[in-house]
Amino acid sequence: MRREPTIMHLDMDAFYASAEQAAKPSLRGKAVIVGGLGPRGVVATASYEARRFGVHSAMPMGQARRLAPHAAYLVPRFGLYRDISEQVMGLLRNLSPLVEPLSLDEAFVDLEASGAADDAASARAIGERLRADIRAVTGLSGSVGLAVSKMLAKIASERAKPDGLVLIDAGSERELLGPLPVRTLPGVGPATGDHLRRAGITTVQEIADAGKDELVRLLGKAHGAGLYAMALARDERPVVAERDTKSVSVEDTYDTDIHDRVRVRGEVQRLADRCVRRLREAGRSGRTVVLKVRRYDFSTLTRSETLRGPTDDPAVVREAAARLLESVDTTGGVRLLGVGVTGLAGFTQEDLFAQAASGTAEEPHPEPEDTGERPEAPEKQDDTPVPRRWLAGHDVRHARHGPGWVQGSGLGRVTVRFETPGSAPGRVRTFAADDPDLTAAGPLPLVPDGARAPKDAPGPETAG
């Protein structure tokens, strides 16, 4: 384990909710909850204002509404979050070639790998500059932890929240860890925590005092020995640069079970198109198509078909997914559907059989970003389009009033607040849901283009 605190952990603060507050001036300083808004929805992120009411991520949305009935409830906008994440990860890669993303809003960075930092003082200076650069580029805040290991760096960033930096000095790790609860350590979830509690072990120091043999007896050889080492502040895990993507997939969970077989087929086709769109965005192709079906009784089935060669043709993927669906009984109802592609490659090889059946390759049908909400139904069999659905929080544009976002909808009406990230809180107007002057729009940048580049940002050779 290294001698200086040169491993960094960055965690963006209440990421989705903070992005929504930055985009919507009327929500700044107010409780904002982002997640699936249907009966089976869960909280993805809650703003710090909402957390004061006891709302937290992974909580059922119904429970969140009881705790914070006056909060703003929004459907996620993953396109916006991915754009912000790419900007943040780009700043991290300017610091080191070893960046290990854990999610859109979280990553480890090895500052020693590039020579950017070799002691506590230089590491702290880089961390503070990074926080300033993130705010300049995205308008959001992130918390930074610095330590000699990944485990300790993550603990430090948790202690830094929100919008702070904590550095754990080398040599002080055991003293800091001792009084912390066992759930602080990686790999200690609810089940392991309860098992340790029944054995009278509730703190990290008590894990260390119990000894390796007792931990192995309680938890097994690998888990027990690993947990004992971490209780002694021993964590040799390296920062590993992001690995090549192994698969691309999309899935949707439905508010109510789907029983209509025609509707199920339509959903599978729509998911296949979305999957291909993501595949093409990644510049990849794939050889194996995978279908995932979760039925009414929570049983989950997967079926796969390997093609003759890798493809990014939406017609090929749609046809393969349709064939896979024929082998699945959905008569009791379907809760979740997913389509994925594995066996990825950087090139395509035409599937002549599928191409002959479909003529020429088609472009995927345009779809909205994955929202976690029940998707729109396909067009009816008589070709009459279904009414548009306006998702709370999503961007719109009106021909006369300009850009805004959906504040709510129902009963054939949609309420829009017209404001932008750089404006004052805007006015609210209500329209018919089928108003031809109202259209869906893409997200606006949180920070104007001219203000995005951090000033005097050092590269790895000058940082510190």
- DSSP, residue by residue, 110-133: ESTTTTS-SSHHHHHHHHHHHHHH
Asked if residue 344 lies in contact with residue 246, where contact means CB atoms within 8 angstroms, the answer is: yes
Asked if residue 164 lies in contact with residue 157, where contact means CB atoms within 8 angstroms, the answer is: no
User: Rounded CA gap, 28 and 13, in Å?
Assistant: 14
pTM of the model: 0.72
pLDDT band for position 203 (cuts 50, 70, 90): very high
Name the residue among 392, 376, 375, 450 with its Cα closest to residue 20.
392
E strands, 317-377, where?
334-345
Asked if residue 108 lies in contact with residue 8, where contact means CB atoms within 8 angstroms, the answer is: yes
User: Rounded CA gap, 134 and 421, in Å?
Assistant: 17
User: Rounded CA gap, 20 and 416, in Å?
Assistant: 15
Tell me the average pLDDT of the chain: 85
Which helix (H) or strand (E) element contains residue 396?
strand 395-398
pLDDT band for position 463 (cuts 50, 70, 90): very low
Name the residue among 402, 456, 391 with its Cα closest to residue 429.
402
Q: Taking residues 247-265, what's their average pLDDT?
A: 88
* CA contacts within 13 A on the Cβ side of 406: 26
User: Rounded CA gap, 264 and 270, in Å?
Assistant: 10
Pairing of strands 300-311, 285-295: antiparallel
pLDDT band for position 326 (cuts 50, 70, 90): very high
Q: Give me the active site residues, please.
A: 106
Instruction: Please state the separation of Cα 120 from the chain's center in Å.
Output: 31
* Lowest-pLDDT range of 61-75, 346-360, 391-405: 346-360
Catalogue all structural domains in the chain, each as residue range(s) with its CATH number: 180-231 (1.10.150.20), 247-358 (3.30.1490.100)
Angle at 154 (CA atoms; ends 152, 159), nearest 5 degrees = 95
Whether residue 459 has pLDDT greater than 50: no
